[in-house]
Amino acid sequence: MRALSVSVAVLALTAASTSAATPPATPHVRLVKLEPSAVVRGTGFLPREHLVVRLTGVGVASKRVSADVAGAFRVALKTPEPRACGQYLLTVIRPAAKPVRVRIGPPECAPSEGPGS
Residue 7 DSSP code: H
> Is 113 within a domain?
no
> Is 3 within a domain?
no
> Is 56 within a domain?
yes
> Is 4 within a domain?
no
CATH number of the domain to which 91 belongs: 2.60.40.230
pLDDT of 24 reads: 66
Q: Domain count of the chain? A: 1
Written as tens digits, the pLDDT of the chain (117 aa) is 555 444 444 344 444 444 455 556 799 999 999 999 999 999 999 999 999 999 999 999 999 999 999 999 999 999 999 998 899 999 999 998 999 999 998 877 765 554 544
**Other Cβ atoms within 10 Å of 14 Cβ, number:** 10
> Is 78 within a domain?
yes
> Is 66 within a domain?
yes
Using DSSP's 3-state secondary structure scheme, residue 108 falls into helix
Domain that holds residue 67: 25-106
pLDDT of 25 reads: 77
Give the global pTM. 0.72
pLDDT of 38 reads: 96
> Is 94 within a domain?
yes
Q: Contact 72/43 with Cβ under 8 angstroms?
A: yes
C-alpha distances in Å from residue 117, one per residue of 81, 103, 108: 30, 21, 13
> Is 12 within a domain?
no
